[in-house]
Amino acid sequence: MHGVDISERFVALARAEAPDGVTFERLDARNLAFDGEFDAAISLCQGAFGLAGGGAVPDEVLDPDATVLEGMARAVRPGGAVALSAFSAYFQVRWLDPEVGSFDAERGVNHERTVIKDESGTDAEVDLWTTCFTPRELRLLAARAGLEVEDLWSVRPGEYAARVPDLDHEEFLVVARRPA
């Protein structure tokens, strides 16, 4: 098993706890260069997919989430599986709180200022851009990446279940396969 994250510190923490045979490296998921090495590729809870868009993205990167998914699809062997969860546009707009964030309807990106803590507990205010999706968009992106969608469910982070897409759950979980 091999894990990637853009945060050097997160990678260091993961390495320190890694069981034998599990490796980690710092990588921007928009630049995945793997080529069929893996049986499966997983990105849950906005693990890069969904966080790659928004105001922080340079103009030359046209469709960063599609690039992440294409890299994941390329990383698995023919017949290999891809699983990702992505924030639901339905849920985001339904529960939008203008005091907390704003939703860019053209791009489907939610923006909020949020507070994060470092290891010493010191607060820092940061921008958070989350690209939100409909099931139809996710199916189109998967097809564009050469994947066949097997399942698409409405889920809550940490509460995964086979639930028909609805308006009531935060995320959609896509399970897809690279054709054999």
Ligand X SMILES: C[S@@+](CC[C@H](N)C(=O)[O-])C[C@H]1O[C@@H](n2cnc3c(N)ncnc32)[C@H](O)[C@@H]1O
CA distance 44 to 96: 22
Token pair, residue 51, equals 């966080």
Of 13, 14, 40, 44, the one binding ligand X by CB under 6 A? 44
Interface pattern 46-85 for ligand X (x via CB under 6 A): xxx--xx---------------------------------
* Among positions 3, 10, 81, 163, the unique one binding ligand X when judged by CB under 6 A: 10
Under rule CB under 6 A, residue 86 binds ligand X: no
Nearest-CA neighbor of 102 among 94, 92, 110? 110
Size of interface with ligand X, in residues (CB under 6 A): 15
The Cβ of residue 59 has, within 10 Å, a number of other Cβ atoms equal to 5
Interacting residues toward ligand X by CB under 6 A: 4-7, 10, 28-30, 44-48, 51-52
